[in-house]
Amino acid sequence: MQVAVIGSGGAAMAAALKAVEQGAQVTLIERGTIGGTCVNVGCVPSKIMIRAAHIAHLRRESPFDGGIAATVPTIDRSKLLAQQQARVDELRHAKYEGILGGNPAITVVHGEARFKDDQSLTVRLNEGGERVVMFDRCLVATGASPAVPPIPGLKESPYWTSTEALASDTIPERLAVIGSSVVALELAQAFARLGSKVTVLARNTLFFREDPAIGEAVTAAFRAEGIEVLEHTQASQVAHMDGEFVLTTTHGELRADKLLVATGRTPNTRSLALDAAGVTVNAQGAIAIDQGMRTSNPNIYAAGDCTDQPQFVYVAAAAGSGAAVSYTHL
């Protein structure tokens, strides 16, 4: 059986390895860096940054009432970033690149895939030219990217998504954060603990989809740490002038040196030409799948953040493995 896998993150890796285990030959296609979101620009670098910020916080705010003297830490973000990236590179090689390179049943193709029809893909190779990949079964595991809200002036400004925030080698004096997602809040707290004056703009309350007590507790904790939380606040205009962001909000004007936009993620499906293969997506562009990870085309499966399922790396990996078991046993 010839299996094509589009993507190389948690879902794609799990699916590729499980398919090989079941006797399939796999062609894995990746347009960017091997490893997907989690190891490169998500879970791994964010948790390293959060850990550094936590240590800085403990040094500044000793919980032992004088028994251990508090000190003001000296933050060198460029050195922290170098350590962070070294660990990312190490884990990417150990968990992704090394495994793929050492498996003779997996062929890695670097390029951008589009469906030619329901049995083949056209891949625009990163090195130039094109290649056609035929398949008996295909798994789409292209992940998701930061969503950008339609705020006038935002797209014309040098705003950050979580990707740019994690890659910054400096700590801004003032940071404005649009969004109240987990990503928004964990980065808001990390930058605050590393020295930024942080203001969070929340369209509703923090974690408004969860038990209200959770949002209330997080809001209180943030304010106790000096993070300004503006609830029921939206930016209606963004301008960037003379190196400064100026946000027009429902509660007045806000100025900041950097602006982080973290309002959710959108599936990476627009460039796949899914309609050529008869694959259905929902209004948000997420691929609709059944319990066996099948799409509307019985020979094409999908898993991970590009689908309508919860966006968690372990959910993605489990779905990828499940999809491989399904399509190799038909």
Q: Is the pLDDT of residue 322 over 70?
A: yes
Where residue 66 falls among pLDDT bands split at 50, 70, 90?
confident
Do 281 and 247 fall within a single domain? no
What do you get for the CA distance between the two ends of the chain, in Å? 11
For residue 141, is it within any domain?
Answer: yes
User: Do 180 and 213 belong together in one domain?
Assistant: yes
Q: Is the pTM of this model over 0.85?
A: yes
The pLDDT confidence band at residue 220, using thresholds 50, 70 and 90, is very high
Q: Which two tokens stand for residue 200?
A: 């969070």
Token duo for residue 307: 């689908």
DSSP symbol at 170: S
Tokens of 245: 């962001």
Please give the average per-residue pLDDT across 238-256, as a whole number.
Answer: 96
Question: Does 65 have pLDDT greater than 90?
Answer: no
What is the spatial distance between Cα 167 and Cα 116, in angstroms, rounded to a whole number?
A: 36
Based on the fold, state whether residues 134 and 270 are members of the same structural domain.
Answer: yes
Q: Which residue has the tokens 């503006």?
A: 230
Residues 52-63 have a mean pLDDT of: 93
Which of 10-19, 58-67, 83-92, 191-200 has the lowest average pLDDT? 58-67
Q: Are residues 191 and 304 in the same domain?
A: no
> Is residue 127 exposed (0-12), middle (13-18) or buried (19+ Cβ within 10 Å)?
exposed
The pLDDT tens digits for 125-137 are 999 999 999 999 9
Distance CA 271, CA 57 (A): 43
pLDDT at residue 257 tops 80? yes
Which pLDDT band holds residue 330 (cuts at 50, 70, 90)? low
pLDDT at 329: 79
Same domain, 105 and 223: no
- Total domain count, the chain: 2
The domain in which residue 219 lies consists of 162-263
**Percent over 70 (pLDDT), the chain:** 100
**Whether residues 218 and 279 fall in one domain:** no
Domain co-membership, 183 together with 212: yes
Q: Which secondary structure element, helix H or strand E, spans residue 271, and what is its range?
A: none
Mean of pLDDT values over 59-64: 86
Predicted confidence band of residue 58 (pLDDT cuts 50, 70, 90): very high
Q: Can you give the pLDDT at residue 250?
A: 87
Bridge partners, 241 (sequence order): 244
Same domain for 317 and 235: no
Q: Is the pLDDT score of 298 beyond 90?
A: yes
> At 35, which CATH number?
3.50.50.60
Using CB atoms within 10 Å of the CB of residue 187, give its burial: 0 to 12 exposed, 13 to 18 middle, 19+ buried. buried
Band of residue 251 on the pLDDT scale cut at 50, 70, 90: confident
Using the 3D structure, point to which of 263, 296, 314 is the last residue of a domain: 263
With a cut of 80, say whether residue 123 has pLDDT above it: yes
Same domain, yes or no: 101 and 232: no
Tokens of 33: 């860096």
State yes or no: pLDDT of 175 exceeds 80. Answer: yes
Residues 106 and 251 in one domain: no
User: How confident is the model over 34-61, as a mean pLDDT?
Assistant: 97
pLDDT digits (tens, 9 = 90+) for 145-162: 999 999 999 999 999 999
